[in-house]
Structure 1
Amino acid sequence: MAHAAVYSLKWAMMELADMSAFQKYYSDDVDIVWPDADLDSFLEATKLLPSYNLVDDAASERRVKDAAQQLQDLIESHVSDLLLRLSDHQSESYSFDDYTGFTFSFSQQLSQLKQELSSFLTALNSTEQQQLNKSSSDYSSLGKQQDLVGLDEQIKVLKEWIQQPESSLRVKTVAGMTGIGKTTLVKHVYSDPNVVDGFQTRLFVHVGPRYNKLEEIMLLVLNQLGVVFPTSDELLHKNKDYLRNQLWEALSGQKYLIVLDDLWTNTKVWHSIEFRGFPRNEKGSRIIITSQIQTIDHFWFLSKRITPLPLLNDDDSWKLLHHTAFSSGYKCSSELVKIGKKIARNCQGLPAAIIQVGENLRGKLVQEWKTLSENEDPLIITRNDDTPLSKALYFSYMMLPQYLKVFFLYMGVFPKEYVISRSMLIKLWVSEGFFNLLSEDLPGDYLDKLICQNIVLIQKKASVSNETTKNCSLHFTFRSLCVNEAKSEKIFHVVKKYIDCMPEKMRSQHRLCIHNNVVLAFREVHEWMESVPNIRSLLCFGPKQQYPIVLPLCFRLLKILDALGVRFYEFPHQVFSLIQLRYLSITFDGELPNSISKLSNLEVLIFGRHHNIKSSKNGPAYLPIGIWKLRKLRQLYCKGFDLPAPPSSDGSHPVLENLVTLSGVSVHSCTMKVLSRIPMLKRVAVQIESAHDSLETFSFFSQFTSLYQKFESFKCIVVNPNLGPHIVHCIPNFPVNIKKITLSGCGFPWKKIEVLSALQNLKVLKLRWYAFCGPIWKISGAQFPSLKFLLLEDLDIEQLEFEDRGMRSMQKVIFRHCYKLKSLPENLKFISLVEVDDCNLSFMNKMRRWRSMLGFEAKISSSITPR
């Protein structure tokens, strides 16, 4: 992927160009002159890269990518050499010849890259539209091959809306990932005899990605109505109002049903279709849109306009596979049923994948079924596969904006069915250098856009609103495409078997993803890995091993080391030579060495232990004093350890000026001396493990109120139940702008919650095991003015009461494992979503009756385990 390589180089160049960070380390007699003209002209050239790259020009793309990666290797090797000298106090050894040699090589290689880039851009601009047309026609055939299974509820809802004349909702969108059956479902409804009889005019218009403007869509509809217009952009622009008038004249007197199939455009065009493009004749006309793209706006008035199609459950998956594989008179033996159900389950509910697998199995022997059932994936998706599903999936990938492609491909580093944490993914993206910024808001937006494109699946939504996701995953089909495309493009290489470690397979790769830590036990594997010097990321995702495994750490350009799944007896000191390391996630039983200060580029430090070692009876365990030298540190997770007081004896005043998250510490890290040196802190998670940590009040938290105006999140967990009841008796005054509070094990009485309920900006409140105790919680109307999400889990509460005016801003309430809960107020009908999980049976039955009697629009889900 030339685009990803060029932009990765772009960030490396911009980082090195900021010479203010390095100027002081050079000898006074070295005059540093950065080739600004070359840099500026290169950055201007990168802006010309198109939004969509649909050109299969592998040769020119490969030349651009190789040139970009070679230049990036040169830059980062130069930086690595410099930083190693600095860390060893040998800056005087950096000579003028070293610098001039680097700038000469840099200028030569940049010139070569600019030539390749210019040639590549010419190829893109000349053939992109032709490729778009060709790929679009290939893709459009997918919907013809799907059967309709498991969508009875969606069909029912769509038909009821179509046939309900009093409904003011005129446009609905059927959305979902490629191959899920959007077109099949809508065609079924469109052709239903009752629907046919209900409309004077019916049109089924295939739009596709070529048409993404309102006037183009109107023109398609008019052409299908028999009205022909010229199609040049100039004429379309001039005749926009005329087109709209013609469309209104043709349709305003009729009750019409129009299907706009396969729309690849944004929310703005959807709204234009609703309010400006098509006549509102109050006759019960309907417009149905099918689209892979789904708006990320999920407010209640917009969610009613969208019908998302779900993946099939296991029973429906087997039903569809059975129907496909045995449709030609073949008999399904009892032996094949068990095997077939496993294969169907491995298809992860995607109808198009199930159908293709069923066709592949038609007439095959039992042994062939067994072999397929044991494969990691029932299908392999590549760009060169000629099946309709592979074409459609690859087309969806090609239609991503260029800047999103590398983010999508990167998600293939995780193993199959891996639940990907949003926060972890964003940390990795930023540490990889995909963003030259400290804020995490923009990377989060990119993940939301991938979800909006329906190529990334939501596993768990965030608490505050439905606009973001907390955990996500890839369907196996898109993951297969990711892995194969990324391997081809040298973005990353997955190591799962011994054969994956062969030098010819790892050569020129920048990232290694270990999905089976056992392979690290082979001596040959270490030798082969050491022969790949330019590795930037080493990601070890397990499974975790019981015994320690030696991990080769010889990669001088390494930026990311995720080794939580690898067991170490002690901290591996080879890490200290990885001077460019930005992200370190490691597990070992011991203390962090003071030499951690050598990793001056470290931005994320996650330090875990195999055993949950309690704090010493003599007091807390502290991180080394060298932690204060990690000025770039943004995220620190160190369960069971505390930040030491910053050094002052040498006259220095170290500041962790970029640290925004501090997690796993005790109250001993929350002193004024410590917190005053962390000015940007926004999120803190405190654990109380011993009597030394237990305080009668949260007196330590008064420091937060005086220091931080933009503090966002506080979490306190009492992890030792033997500390006794009522560990803390008083809730402090929290910072006024705090948005999220999570408490567990504190043992507060409910009357103390008034301090929390007065917080004007609090949006999320999570009360877990024994956070508050008592049978009744009463909420007045003036409390919790901004609260949107409330979780009550493992509490002994029996009754919740609040006034009619109370909690009007609430969007979601979850009751989980509250086995004494007996009643809830009728005011719950004002809350969009109520979930009850594993509570007592009588309470669950009451909730179902309430939903029926009060007309709850809220979804009530349950997983009842009577106790």
Structure 2
Amino acid sequence: MSAYAAVVDLKSSIERLLSYFDVCLDPASLQIAKNLHKELKSFQKSMKRFDDRSRKRVSASLQQIATAIRRFDDALTSLFEEQVLAQSEENMNPDEIKPYLFSIDLQDLKQESHTLIQTLKETVERFSSAKGGVVSSRFDYRESRSKMVGLCDEYDQLKEDIIGESNRFRKSFSIVGMIGIGKTTLAREIFEDLDILEHFDCRAWVTIGRSCQSCHIPRAVLSQVDPETNGKDEDEEIHKFLKAKLDGKRYLIVLDDVYDAQIYDGVNQLLPNNEGNGSKVLFTTTVRKVAQQVAELVGSVSAYSFDMRLLDKEEGWDLLREKLFGEEYCPPHLVKAGKKIAEHCDGLPLMIVTVANLLSGVEHTPERWGEIGAGRNHPLFIDAYNELSKVLYPSYNYLPQHLKECFLYMGVFPHNYEIPKSKLINMWIVEEIIEQSMEDYALECLEELASYSLVMVYKKSKSKTSSKRPSLKTCGLHSTWLHLCCKEAKINKFFHVMHSYEDGFGEGIKGQTRLSIHNKVLFGIKDVHRSIEEHCSSTAKSLLCLHPYHQYQVPLCFKLRLLQHLDALNIRFYDFPLEVLELVRLKYLAFTCNCDLPTSISNLSSLHFLIVSQHFNFKTSGTPSYLPMSIWDMKELKHLQIMGSDLPDLHGAILPNLSTLLGVSALSCTKTVFQSLPNLNKLGIQIELAPDVIEPLSCFDHICQLKELESLKCVVVNPDYCCGVVAPLSAFPLSLKRLSLSGLGYPWEEMGKIASLPSLEVLKLRCNAFQGSKWEVEGHSFMKLKYLLIEDCDVERLMVGKLKSFRRLQCLSIHHCYNLDELYWKFYEDLSKIEVIDCHPLFEKQMKEALLWKKNVTQDYSWKMNFL
């Protein structure tokens, strides 16, 4: 048996001993077992770092150690089995067994244990310092170690991908993720894994970073591949030696912390091809664009990218516990508070480690830990955030100025706030961080921030963009970045976040240009209210009420006379706040109120965004509610969202800049209204049917007049009344790219008017938008469609013709179609994702069979049945 395997066995025996019979050991024996376990663990880690040359040199010593370990393990196992047998015969619990039963025998092994520990220590010291021993680089190999906790499945999969026979032609592997998420730890675990060590002929680790000079990299690699190389050689000689040393060998090169794809390209050109022998280059990076560029350099087939995820709650607690107690058990009375503390770290390993270091100096009592775990505002967490800010700041400071402002502004949102892409971009434009009419540029900025791993992407579009990468739908900041943004913004008077009473006073609030309120109670405190108006009345341009929704009216600050951006959507007003009409500089106004808008709303002639929500999501029966006629005088309006009201029909008036209209009913869908909206790009129609309605729906009769329309959503909120009241489907504008229908009950035969749309990319059909037992798709249909959703429909058979239908479909989602049990569909090569949730099991079986020939499709099914 190898020494490594013997160490593992002995360590397991001691762990069993400590787990089951630690109460049976006297203090001296217990300390012997713990010391030996610690030395074995250290020796096991050291053995992982021996390369081939070292293992050959120490083979004789390792065999002697293996024999000694095996003998000690046999004796320990014998004692363990005897004690278990004795316990079984006497039917006693471990705490009832007399300590001397075990302690006497273990003391007999004390000398052999001491000798074994000394042998292990001497072996590690002797061969770690020898040339060709432990792999390292004098340039950059970091000796600080962090145990990897969690991600076991991902680790095993990545290791298999690297050494697996099926991937011998794949050369480039990247680990991508935000700072502190554990990229280096994962790469190091892979690098030092015993299977990896045995698989590769030689390995090298180089830490890059922004300050690394590319000329140092070949030297660092060569110094590990051949330590006897003269470090004074010229660069050309180094390159030549390196290529010669690696030629014909299976090598693994790890480049840690790469910021530029050219670094990878430069290293790759110095390495011999060795095509097909399984040589790999593994690199870590915070910049997703680097991984994409490398994939383009080497070819997508030769590249693999692994996105690091945050730890879940259990993994976070495991890491915190391991950092605080090591192999010891956490006292049970600390577990509940400890889990809460770990949860506040939001799954970021570096944050957990930082908190653990600070927590180690705190009294370990339930009361003290409970106080810390009560919230992220505890001084211990603030200290941890401040420490991490020092690590994060260089990445923020490295950003171009235009991205700095975009990123910093995201700090106005609360912790764990899921920011819709459209809302963020609109706010950037209103705040003049991004110029008007530059939505595409704003989207590029947002995706670039996501590429730098500064922004967390919560949801992605199902279909890919023209740049061949998924576009994000919602995003947010990790709490560590949020703290940095708020801290920097406050110093630079960029914005000021108010959580508590104290935030309403002092130097922090004076002269601020933007105020973000995260606590709804603050407006009800007279002193805070007065302080805001006193210190910010002549400077504040933005007031953002981003706290949770508050159904009772609070006294909002309306004396901020320079206000341009007022987001009070989370505050309910009983009546329209007339004070708003004095804020004539407003460009963005959002609030919640069930009353009608006054005619004088047109006084706000600078408004670009007007969003009015209702406290209740339904309208009372009676006369339809219309916006005032004066709405047509607001020529600057770009975005109008008016739940519960409709546009009045005013012949000849035009809103030339209005591109988004949401929340209207079929009453607004008239010929003259649509003629007055020549540049409408996005339309949302919400229909509430009455039980006795007899007239057919005709909301689409004039849709084709909207020549610029790209996105249309129509929802029947009470579809049970829809049966028999739907008019034939009218023609849609040819410009339409996204269409979402719900509850309309059209027959599938009407689908032909949608199938022929030349630009349609996204189609969502929900809640019997179409009805009938069979949907049969004719050939040459949906030629540009990328994403199709069918949800909660009664269809039984889905039949797709052979001729070129859905040629560009990338994602197919079918949810809650319980009757669907027959499929005929030949899928094309662009299809990359299938979601079948809560459908007939026979349909799921047919879907799997239809995809047998496609190897690179992500499939998600709800039924856990082994059909294949």
Per the alignment, in what secondary structure is the counterpart of residue 790 of structure 1?
A: strand
* Higher RCO (C-alpha under 8 Å, 6+ residues apart): 1
Aligned counterpart, 1:258: 253
Aligned counterpart, 2:182: 181
CA RMSD of aligned residues (A): 3.4
- Whole-Å separation in 2 of the counterparts to 1:496 and 1:824: 55
Per the alignment, in what secondary structure is the counterpart of residue 441 of structure 1?
A: helix
Aligned counterpart, 1:397: 396
Per the alignment, in what secondary structure is the counterpart of residue 606 of structure 2?
A: coil
Q: Is the 8 A contact 2:844 2:861 kept in 1?
A: no
Aligned counterpart, 2:562: 557
Per the alignment, in what secondary structure is the counterpart of residue 211 of structure 2?
A: coil
Task: Provide the TM-score with structure 1 as the length reference.
Answer: 0.75
1:318-374 deviation per Cα after TM superposition (whole angstroms, max 9, x unaligned): 211221121275x52323222222222222211121222223333522212101111
Aligned counterpart, 2:406: 407
Distance 1:359 1:758, change over 3 A: same
Distance 1:498 1:379, change over 3 A: closer
State the 1:751 CA deviation.
Answer: 2.0
Aligned counterpart, 1:621: 625
Aligned counterpart, 1:293: 287
Correspondences of 1:104-115 after superposition (within 5 Å): none
Aligned counterpart, 2:203: 202
Distance 1:755 1:696, change over 3 A: farther
Q: Is the 8 A contact 2:256 2:285 kept in 1?
A: yes
- Whole-Å separation in 2 of the counterparts to 1:803 and 1:279: 50
Aligned counterpart, 1:608: 613
Aligned counterpart, 1:153: 153
Correspondences of 1:633-712 after superposition (within 5 Å): 633-646=637-650, 654-690=653-689, 701=700, 703-708=702-707, 710-712=708-710
- Of residues 297-306 and 669-678 in structure 1, the stretch that sits farther from structure 2 once superposed is 297-306
Q: Is the 8 A contact 1:829 1:856 kept in 2?
A: no
Correspondences of 1:125-136 after superposition (within 5 Å): none
Unaligned runs of 5+ in 2: 1-139
Q: Is the 8 A contact 2:495 2:516 kept in 1?
A: yes
Aligned counterpart, 1:579: 584
State the 1:530 CA deviation.
Answer: 0.9
Distance 1:726 1:609, change over 3 A: same
Per the alignment, in what secondary structure is the counterpart of residue 683 of structure 2?
A: strand
Distance 1:851 1:674, change over 3 A: closer
- Whole-Å separation in 2 of the counterparts to 1:212 and 1:432: 40
Alignment equivalent of 1:772, drawn from 770, 773, 776: 770
Per the alignment, in what secondary structure is the counterpart of residue 392 of structure 1?
A: helix
- Whole-Å separation in 2 of the counterparts to 1:498 and 1:771: 50
**Matched letter for residue 254 of structure 1:** K
Q: Is the 8 A contact 2:385 2:480 kept in 1?
A: no
Alignment equivalent of 1:742, drawn from 735, 740, 743: 740
**Matched letter for residue 605 of structure 1:** L
Aligned counterpart, 1:106: none
Q: Is the 8 A contact 2:763 2:787 kept in 1?
A: yes
Q: Is the 8 A contact 1:792 1:814 kept in 2?
A: yes
- Of residues 603-612 and 342-351 in structure 1, the stretch that sits farther from structure 2 once superposed is 342-351
Q: Is the 8 A contact 2:683 2:709 kept in 1?
A: no
Q: Is the 8 A contact 1:625 1:647 kept in 2?
A: no
State the 1:405 CA deviation.
Answer: 1.4
Distance 1:844 1:483, change over 3 A: farther
Alignment equivalent of 2:499, drawn from 483, 496, 503: 496
Correspondences of 1:362-401 after superposition (within 5 Å): 362=360, 364-376=364-376, 387=387, 389-401=388-400
Q: Is the 8 A contact 2:141 2:206 kept in 1?
A: no
Matched, 1:455 2:454: yes
Q: Is the 8 A contact 1:511 1:538 kept in 2?
A: yes
Aligned counterpart, 2:435: 436
State the 1:488 CA deviation.
Answer: 2.0
- Whole-Å separation in 1 of the counterparts to 2:386 and 2:643: 50
State the 1:311 CA deviation.
Answer: 1.1
Distance 1:571 1:210, change over 3 A: same
Per the alignment, in what secondary structure is the counterpart of residue 155 of structure 1?
A: helix
**Matched letter for residue 601 of structure 2:** I
**Matched letter for residue 265 of structure 1:** D
- Whole-Å separation in 1 of the counterparts to 2:447 and 2:143: 26
**Matched letter for residue 262 of structure 1:** D
Aligned counterpart, 1:284: 278
Correspondences of 1:192-231 after superposition (within 5 Å): 192-211=193-212, 221=221
Alignment equivalent of 1:544, drawn from 524, 528, 549: 549
- Whole-Å separation in 2 of the counterparts to 1:349 and 1:439: 35
- Whole-Å separation in 1 of the counterparts to 2:816 and 2:451: 33
Q: Is the 8 A contact 1:585 1:607 kept in 2?
A: yes
State the 1:313 CA deviation.
Answer: 1.6
Aligned counterpart, 1:345: 343
Distance 1:372 1:854, change over 3 A: farther
- Whole-Å separation in 2 of the counterparts to 1:832 and 1:852: 11
1:28-87 deviation per Cα after TM superposition (whole angstroms, max 9, x unaligned): xxxxxxxxxxxxxxxxxxxxxxxxxxxxxxxxxxxxxxxxxxxxxxxxxxxxxxxxxxxx
Distance 1:704 1:751, change over 3 A: closer
**Matched letter for residue 606 of structure 2:** N
Matched, 1:521 2:524: yes
Aligned counterpart, 2:712: 714
State the 1:385 CA deviation.
Answer: 7.0
Per the alignment, in what secondary structure is the counterpart of residue 813 of structure 1?
A: strand
Per the alignment, in what secondary structure is the counterpart of residue 783 of structure 1?
A: coil
Correspondences of 1:11-30 after superposition (within 5 Å): none
1:548-578 deviation per Cα after TM superposition (whole angstroms, max 9, x unaligned): 1111111111111000111111111111121
Report sequence identity in percent.
Answer: 36
State the 1:477 CA deviation.
Answer: 1.4
Per the alignment, in what secondary structure is the counterpart of residue 685 of structure 2?
A: strand
Q: Is the 8 A contact 2:171 2:303 kept in 1?
A: no
- Whole-Å separation in 2 of the counterparts to 1:224 and 1:633: 65
Aligned counterpart, 2:722: 724
Per the alignment, in what secondary structure is the counterpart of residue 310 of structure 2?
A: coil
State the 1:272 CA deviation.
Answer: 6.8
State the 1:671 CA deviation.
Answer: 2.6
Distance 1:603 1:219, change over 3 A: farther
Alignment equivalent of 1:335, drawn from 330, 333, 336: 333
State the 1:423 CA deviation.
Answer: 0.7
- Whole-Å separation in 2 of the counterparts to 1:692 and 1:628: 33
- Whole-Å separation in 2 of the counterparts to 1:693 and 1:432: 48
Distance 1:595 1:819, change over 3 A: same
Alignment equivalent of 2:489, drawn from 481, 486, 491: 486
**Matched letter for residue 785 of structure 2:** L
Q: Is the 8 A contact 2:786 2:808 kept in 1?
A: yes
Per the alignment, in what secondary structure is the counterpart of residue 749 of structure 2?
A: helix
- Whole-Å separation in 2 of the counterparts to 1:430 and 1:303: 41
Per the alignment, in what secondary structure is the counterpart of residue 602 of structure 1?
A: coil
Aligned counterpart, 2:24: none
Task: Provide the TM-score with structure 2 as the length reference.
Answer: 0.75
Per the alignment, in what secondary structure is the counterpart of residue 208 of structure 2?
A: strand
Correspondences of 1:83-98 after superposition (within 5 Å): none
Q: Is the 8 A contact 2:697 2:726 kept in 1?
A: yes
Q: Is the 8 A contact 2:341 2:373 kept in 1?
A: yes
- Of residues 489-498 and 847-856 in structure 1, the stretch that sits farther from structure 2 once superposed is 847-856
State the 1:777 CA deviation.
Answer: 2.2
- Of residues 684-693 and 298-307 in structure 1, the stretch that sits farther from structure 2 once superposed is 298-307
Q: Is the 8 A contact 1:790 1:812 kept in 2?
A: yes
Per the alignment, in what secondary structure is the counterpart of residue 281 of structure 2?
A: strand
Q: Is the 8 A contact 2:493 2:513 kept in 1?
A: yes
- Whole-Å separation in 2 of the counterparts to 1:639 and 1:474: 30
Q: Is the 8 A contact 1:382 1:485 kept in 2?
A: no
Distance 1:643 1:252, change over 3 A: farther
State the 1:397 CA deviation.
Answer: 1.9
State the 1:750 CA deviation.
Answer: 1.6
**Matched letter for residue 753 of structure 1:** M
